[in-house]
A = this chain, B = another copy of it.
Amino acid sequence: MKAAIVGGSGYVGGELLRLLLGHPEVEVVQVTSDSMAGRAVGRAHPNLRHATDLVFAPHGELKSTDVAFLATPHGESIERVPTLLASGTLVIDLSADFRLKDPDAYVRYYGRAHPYADLLARSVYGLPELHRDALRTAPLIAVPGCIATASILALHPLVRAGFVDRSPTVVDAKSGSSAGGIEPGPAGTHAERSGSLRAYASVGHRHTAEIEQETGLTIALTCHAVEAVRGVLATAHALSSSAPDERTLWKAYRAAYGSERFVRIVHEPDGSHREPDPKILAGTNYCDVGFGTDPHGGRIVAYGALDNLGKGAAGAAVQCLNVRAGFPEATGLGFLGLHPV
């Protein structure tokens, strides 16, 4: 299967390329970048030195392929999609452009009318754990945001079991620095970001809309920048009058994820790794989920941890491709992660 990566000089593009170079069913024929056009991909992604002879091509020279991955920033993907779809190319978009089903929500969170609102109905939200069947025939796949995936997978078993009976559901998210992209601005230098513990979005973060769409809950989301390079931890505080006990929660999570290859339930009684921690997930496609019950506070705590460039972006894109193309779902996604790292 021939693939192109559009916008391949950023962190998501680089991670996608790394995964696809190891995918036995995919041949990457092109990686585009205007800023790096003409240079070897190893100049942008030093881990790929010696692993490929690919050279960045300008966006304008995009070749026809079976599948095109769009790793361009939000707003840049949107104009390319109709043409690609018309030519019969499978489009896997890693931007936010086609994630929301509701055009009004798009206006609310992105500040303008969606120029191709009709396509929103044709795109499938790229979370196989929730939309596997629809993904098998999707012409356009919208890979979820990293905080959204962590939050949705943390909350899904609780929603499914009907445990959340009051609103809002508070989601307190923590992200590492690579989530800000390869050119993060003044607050993203090492001296400023190292050891920081601060909110960068108290309210109104755009992933709110995705989480609400997929869970049906009212979400109160706050996002923090913490010291880490890869990794998101979403801590969801779900209000629950019933306050189910641990055993009941175990059952709900197992019912939801018992056969999922990339969702692990982590909730250990002792040791150094009792709850999900994205630290050990760098480079993997796992989302580790966990929980705690708080009858005193009338709440269930739910955790979702993932690598923002892995299951939060490039890994999810490959998983979606596997589902869509009928490959075994874990193809090219076998890396187990490092400990320690």
Contacts and interface: CB of A to CB of B under 8 A. Distances in A.
Contact of A183 (B176, B186, B199, B264): B186
A339 interface: yes
A218 B282 CA distance: 37
Contact of A190 (B49, B50, B193, B337): B193
A299 to B, nearest CB: 5
Contacts of A48: 336, 339
A237 B172 contact: yes
Interface stretch (A85-93, A117-125, A132-140, A271-279): A271-279
Q: How many copies does the complex hold?
A: 4
A216 B45 CA distance: 36
A97 to B, nearest CB: 22
B194 A190 contact: yes
A190 B225 CA distance: 11
A170 B237 contact: yes
A110 interface: no
B279 A197 contact: yes
Kindly name the residue among A198, A202, A276 whose own CB sees the greatest number of chain B CB atoms within 10 A: A198
Interface of A: 11, 14-15, 18, 21-22, 43, 45-51, 167-168, 170, 172, 174, 176-178, 180, 182-184, 186-200, 202-204, 208, 218-222, 224, 226-233, 235, 237, 239, 264, 266, 268, 271-280, 282-284, 290-294, 296-299, 301, 303, 305, 334-341
In the A-B complex, the 7 residue pairs with the smallest Cβ-Cβ separation, listed nearest first, are: A202-B292, A220-B297, A187-B272, A198-B277, A190-B193, A172-B172, A227-B227
